[in-house]
Structures are given as structure tokens and as C-alpha cells.
Amino acid sequence: MVRISPSILSADFANLEAELKSISSADLIHVDVMDGHFVPNLTIGLPVVKRISEVTNVPLDVHLMIENPELWAAKYAQFAHSVTFHFEAAKDALATITSIKAAGAKAAMAIKPATSFEDFQHLCGDLDMLLVMTVEPGFGGQSLIEGALEKVTKARSFADDKGLSLSIQVDGGVTVGNIASIAKAGADTFVAGTAVFEAKDRNLRIEELRALAITL
């Protein structure tokens, strides 16, 4: 199933409730939580995520770009459909996955472009979703790193071979022009920030992206 998850990193935070209404046809809303340590940017925290969950009916896809995610993941899971932590930041990835699921959310893990598939493949069976970063995490508006798509294909082949129900998400540089090729590589969930929020009709753009990802 193809899912489009607009990143509110590209939204107008001064008018966030209106911005959320403008993407009401999204499958998920991607919420980037950055701590200024794991990544060189600072965004929002738990109180804002809680409030976002109260003013939209679209499920939240919370992406923790923070140090020590095992201390925070379960707290965010109370307000989210899925919580994604970074493999590179977790002291105990399996314990973090377990805590997210115990709190009632889908457990997802993100991988930076430089991290090899072999480093994390042993955890795929425990995940609901794998997020392959196709840009360096921390800032919106970057161009897709084509080489990172190789991990998408490896992860999809691995999941299919093992009979895993693993969703594969791509975050970074997703556009109308490349979403079909990303889907062909094996992704089914697409984070799109600039591509959605630059459009005059955001819901129409979401439908366009979804249609392009399905038409293979």
C-alpha cells in the first residue's frame, strides 16, 4: 500500500493548524523532532506533538532525530501512529523498538545515508517500518542522494525473502519527478516536504504523488 507522509518541517509553524488542514488527504503526517545534538537543528518537542495530535485526524508519523531515543520514544508513542528512532543514536535499538510497541505505536527505525544495510539487517524482523534517509538528516529542501536507494532495494528483497511485513519509507528529496523510481526501488511510504507544501493545492499534490508511486 502506497502512503504519502508530508513533512511539516516545510510548513508555516505560525499557522500550523491551518497547514495541517491543507494536507487532510495525507496518509500520515511526518513530524520531525530534532534536538540540536544528534542533528544540527532544533524543532519541536513532546508538548507540540501532543497538540498536533489533537487538531488533526491524520495519524502522526513521528521521526525522532535525537540522542538517547530510548528515553523518549515511548512518550511520543502515546500520540503517534508510528515512532521512528535513529539506529545510529540508539544505545539499545531492540529495547527501543520494544518500548514503542508496548506504548501502542508502530516501531520504525531510520538509517543515515552512510549506514550500510549489513549493519542493521538483523533488526528488520522486529520492525514495522524501516526509514531509509536519502538526504543527511537535519534540514529540509535537500536533493535526493541516489546511491541511498540501493538500501531500499536490499531491504525490500530481504523482507520479501524472509516473509516480513516490513514497510519501507524514504525521506529526503522526494519529488513528482522521482517518486516513481523510488517506488520501483521498493519503497511504499514517502515523506515529502517541499514537494507538498510548495503546491497551491496541497491535497491535489498528495494525490498526484500517490498516483505516480502506484503507476509502475
Active-site residue, 161 included? no
Q: Which of 183, 178, 147 is nearest to 168 (CA)?
A: 183
Query: Rounded to 5, what percent of the chain is helix, strand, coil?
Result: 40, 20, 40
Quote the CA–CA distance of 4 and 209 in Å, as a whole number.
Answer: 7
Catalytic residue among 32, 35, 61, 128: 32
Catalytic residue among 61, 128, 171, 188: 171
Quote the CA–CA distance of 186 and 143 in Å, as a whole number.
Answer: 19
Active-site residue, 35 included? no
Quote the CA–CA distance of 48 and 13 in Å, as a whole number.
Answer: 11
Q: What is the 3-state secondary structure (H, E, C) of 161-213?
A: HHCCCCEEEEECCCCCCCHHHHHHHCCCEEEECHHHHCCCCHHHHHHHHHHHH
Catalytic residue positions, numbered: 32, 171
